[in-house]
Structure 1
């Protein structure tokens, strides 16, 4: 029972302490605090007292490696702030009232500031409360690259060296296409170095060999650019001579072109087997200038020697001199000019003639084409007119045809009465008879009416042609039918009122014609047949009959 009472008493005391005492504001998640050298660093410390406590004093300490504590700065609620030793120029409180916000500000952080700090809050009447804060100071890498000048032909050796110092130690690598190897080393002062080695060749000169520095304070690798340097001797070549030098030539010159690394500093010209001719001037840029017209004594073997720090390059050229060509006389030059002018004039004349003939033929062809077109149009017009005449008019003569052989069957065209047939038929009065027989063909009637039907009585078979020769009386002549006598049939789209001028005397002629037809022909089932006997008072057998058959 006694132990139970003791336990309850202890719990009540702890609860009373937790309720009465205050506490520190929790630190940020990034504990320990990381900072960079030469930048401001904030060490947070903020205490919230209870309603019965009062913050009397705030003091910051730093723990030394030997576990002792060094006082940095203090602030009393009535006596103010005090900084100690070298810290007075190095630190200060963040707030003007340290009893409310006791955070410490290091104005320019140094590597030596790294360590453990303690913030002590003195309250009344509760006493002192401490909080520890750890600080890690990082530094931005300080890097350098030392290139090495190589010479072609040397053995395998170091080509470049890269070094970097930082907290924490950085990492180094190389970015290059060269065939080599790198070796990395570290030192106690957090410095690292890397060496790149290879076998130098002329083709490696100017190639990329960059050093990359990796560190947590950098967003990405820092690149230190570098190009490999390889020295090699020059390679000389001679230009300016094409094998065409002759005696009397002026402004002749030889040029020595040379490569190499570094570029050659000096050029030397010599003539093998003797000294340079007089009037020949060598220049420092490698040019050998002949300051006078060439002569036969200028021939020979010339050698150019180019030199740089690594070695020497040589090149030779053999010059062969030829005799100068004989100058042409003024007469030959004049003759050449005359011949050239004549040839040019003749060429221009021929060109003018060709152009003129071409233009003439073109105009003539156009004229002939135009005339041909006009002729074609005329022929086409005449052909159409002739076709219209054949279709619209036929001249028949009954003198050469017997009365039994002239019956016609008009299929699909004779759709009117006998009186209407009489109106579409015109008779011309007999004139002086023709001394020649007229041959009547049923083919003409077939072309106009579409078919010809010859009755069985007194005629031949359908489709055959009846030709009867008969001498007309000497007192009858029948005039041919002309275009002026054509009449547009009403069935073909023309007005029925259009009549031939010969039929404009009176309507009596039309009735007479109808009576004549009635006296000579009879209509049976759409077929006109001659009557067995003709009245002597009818139309004369030698009358001219013009019949226009309607074309369907």
Structure 2
């Protein structure tokens, strides 16, 4: 008798894939002075958590060491001195070890390691890279150029202490090739950079007063910064003229940069004259006011003066005036005044 023999297949194997334990972290970028969140938590595990340990290796402390531990009952404990800027914002029961660091400084930049002590898996860790960026301190400095024919430095625009380095450029509008720029950068040990851009040109009156802009941009800035600047060419007072405002008041006029200050040298009684900066007013019309009046215009770059001779005629006519903006030496004042009088420059009033 032939028996039917059934062949059996090899036992089938069933594979079950369990999710692997993971420690979640990540890199963080923060602006100097801001607040950084250092994320760290464990997922896909039912192990018991007994301790969370934080280590760091920073610019200030280049050697990796423990600086903070978190225990289920004792809570947060600092190692080797506390730092109130750190705050534990995680949840121990949820296996979340996230820290918050406020008022971040450049010295805090570096690597932070979060270590979970689990049973039975043992220590599990992840590394968080903290990158600190810093916006620059910006300014424009006027080099105070004076009139001349040779190229000089007009101004410098500076972006100091930037991390990463800032870009500095000038917008010179219609000046074209009348100006040129140079840019130099200096990097420091704390990884910050100072960038200086200089503006050059020939200091002529044509360039004086032109508006330009210095534009500064950096990844550490929310938007680029524009600093306006007016090119100033400085010079002492030019020719000083005295013009009549009315029959008894005068004004001293000149061009200067910066604007001139005015000083009047008066031959008459102070009580009979009113001076208001560049303006001179005669309060009465008597012969006591006769004489040479000198106006001096001055600024930090020099001074110049102009003169006027005032003569009040006798009689029913109120006054007669003549002015001239030439320099008179004191030893010839009398002769000059007599010449002007004889030549008809001074009107003479005759009693009726």
Scaled by the length of structure 1, the TM-score of the pair is: 0.46
Q: Please report how far the alpha carbon of residue 98 of structure 1 lies from its aligned counterpart in structure 2 after TM superposition.
A: 6.0
Structure 2: which 5+ residue stretches go unaligned?
A: 1-12, 308-323, 326-339
Q: Please report how far the alpha carbon of residue 89 of structure 1 lies from its aligned counterpart in structure 2 after TM superposition.
A: 2.0
Q: Which residue of 1 aligns with 2:258?
A: 262
Q: Are 2:153 and 1:158 aligned?
A: yes
SS at match of 1:112: helix
Which residues in structure 2 correspond to 1:101-140 (within 5 Å)? Answer: 101-140=96-135
The whole-number CA distance in structure 2 between the counterparts of 1:310 and 1:64 is 53
More strand as a share of residues: 2
Asked if the contact 1:77–1:99 (Cα under 8 Å) also holds between the matched residues in 2, the reply is no
SS at match of 1:129: strand
Asked if the contact 2:19–2:44 (Cα under 8 Å) also holds between the matched residues in 1, the reply is no
Q: Please report how far the alpha carbon of residue 137 of structure 1 lies from its aligned counterpart in structure 2 after TM superposition.
A: 0.6
Q: Are 2:172 and 1:172 aligned?
A: no
More helix as a share of residues: 1
The whole-number CA distance in structure 1 between the counterparts of 2:132 and 2:87 is 18
Q: Please report how far the alpha carbon of residue 20 of structure 1 lies from its aligned counterpart in structure 2 after TM superposition.
A: 7.0
Q: Which residue of 1 aligns with 2:198?
A: 195
SS at match of 2:40: coil
Asked if the contact 2:89–2:99 (Cα under 8 Å) also holds between the matched residues in 1, the reply is yes
The whole-number CA distance in structure 2 between the counterparts of 1:277 and 1:44 is 85
The whole-number CA distance in structure 2 between the counterparts of 1:50 and 1:302 is 99
Q: Are 2:345 and 1:320 aligned?
A: yes
CA pair 309-132 structure 1, distance change in 2 beyond 3 A: closer
Which residues in structure 2 correspond to 1:80-91 (within 5 Å)? Answer: 80-91=75-86
CA pair 98-231 structure 1, distance change in 2 beyond 3 A: farther
Give a deviation string over 1:365-393, Cα, whole Å, max 9, x none. xxxxxxxxxxxxxxxxxxxxxxxxxxxxx
The whole-number CA distance in structure 1 between the counterparts of 2:213 and 2:148 is 23
Asked if the contact 1:269–1:288 (Cα under 8 Å) also holds between the matched residues in 2, the reply is no
Asked if the contact 1:171–1:213 (Cα under 8 Å) also holds between the matched residues in 2, the reply is yes
Asked if the contact 2:32–2:103 (Cα under 8 Å) also holds between the matched residues in 1, the reply is yes
Bigger relative contact order, structure 1 or 2 (CA pairs below 8 A, ≥6 apart): 2
CA pair 314-252 structure 1, distance change in 2 beyond 3 A: closer
Q: Please report how far the alpha carbon of residue 85 of structure 1 lies from its aligned counterpart in structure 2 after TM superposition.
A: 2.7
The whole-number CA distance in structure 1 between the counterparts of 2:45 and 2:103 is 35
SS at match of 2:170: strand
SS at match of 2:18: helix
Q: Which residue of 2 aligns with 1:219?
A: 222
Give a deviation string over 1:408-442, Cα, whole Å, max 9, x none. xxxxxxxxxxxxxxxxxxxxxxxxxxxxxxxxxxx
Q: Are 2:35 and 1:40 aligned?
A: yes
Q: Which residue of 2 aligns with 1:145?
A: 140
CA pair 307-286 structure 1, distance change in 2 beyond 3 A: farther
Which residues in structure 2 correspond to 1:227-242 (within 5 Å)? Answer: 227-232=230-235, 233-240=237-244
Asked if the contact 2:112–2:129 (Cα under 8 Å) also holds between the matched residues in 1, the reply is yes
Asked if the contact 2:28–2:129 (Cα under 8 Å) also holds between the matched residues in 1, the reply is yes
Q: Which residue of 2 aligns with 1:204?
A: 207
1:94 to 89, 97, 105: 89
2:278 to 285, 290, 296: 285
The whole-number CA distance in structure 2 between the counterparts of 1:278 and 1:81 is 85
Asked if the contact 1:236–1:313 (Cα under 8 Å) also holds between the matched residues in 2, the reply is yes
RMSD value, Cα: 3.7
The whole-number CA distance in structure 2 between the counterparts of 1:139 and 1:288 is 59
Q: Please report how far the alpha carbon of residue 304 of structure 1 lies from its aligned counterpart in structure 2 after TM superposition.
A: 5.8
Q: Please report how far the alpha carbon of residue 237 of structure 1 lies from its aligned counterpart in structure 2 after TM superposition.
A: 2.5
Which residues in structure 2 correspond to 1:394-409 (within 5 Å)? Answer: none
Asked if the contact 1:56–1:99 (Cα under 8 Å) also holds between the matched residues in 2, the reply is no
Structure 1: which 5+ residue stretches go unaligned?
A: 1-11, 243-250, 271-275, 328-552
Asked if the contact 1:43–1:105 (Cα under 8 Å) also holds between the matched residues in 2, the reply is yes
SS at match of 2:165: coil
Which residues in structure 2 correspond to 1:21-40 (within 5 Å)? Answer: 21-25=20-24, 32-40=27-35
Q: Which residue of 2 aligns with 1:60?
A: 54
Give a deviation string over 1:45-92, Cα, whole Å, max 9, x none. 1112434x2222211111368984211211233443312234542323
Give a deviation string over 1:176-212, Cα, whole Å, max 9, x none. 3443222111112211111212222234333324322
Scaled by the length of structure 2, the TM-score of the pair is: 0.69
Give a deviation string over 1:224-276, Cα, whole Å, max 9, x none. 2332332222332232399xxxxxxxx54554322322333345679xxxxx7
The whole-number CA distance in structure 2 between the counterparts of 1:169 and 1:192 is 7
Asked if the contact 1:58–1:98 (Cα under 8 Å) also holds between the matched residues in 2, the reply is no
The whole-number CA distance in structure 2 between the counterparts of 1:134 and 1:44 is 10
Q: Which residue of 2 aligns with 1:431?
A: none
Asked if the contact 1:257–1:286 (Cα under 8 Å) also holds between the matched residues in 2, the reply is no
